[in-house]
Amino acid sequence: MFIREEVLREAEVIKYEGGEIPEVFFWNSYFYLTEPPPKGLGLNLTKEEIQFLKKAVIERYLEIIKRDLTPENIEKPFYRGIKRVIINLRRLKNFAEKEGLESDFRAGLEKIKNWFKIFKTQKSNFQKEKIKELEELLRSF
* Domain boundaries along the sequence of the chain: 5-140
Please, what sign has the CA dihedral across residues 92, 95, 97, 100?
A: negative
Residues 6+ apart with CB under 8 A from 42: 34, 35, 36
Taking only the tens place, the pLDDT of each residue in 9-63 is 999 999 999 999 999 999 999 999 999 999 999 999 999 999 999 999 999 999 9
- Amino acid identity, position 1: M
Give the number of C-alpha atoms closer than 13 A to the C-alpha of residue 36, restricted to the C-beta side: 0
Instruction: Note the pLDDT tens digit of each residue in 76-122.
Output: 999 999 999 999 999 999 999 999 999 999 999 999 999 999 999 99
Cβ-contact 43, 6 below 8 angstroms: yes
Helices 47-68 and 5-17 cross at an angle (nearest 10°) of 20
Q: What is the pLDDT of residues 55-77, one digit of tens each?
A: 999 999 999 999 999 999 999 99
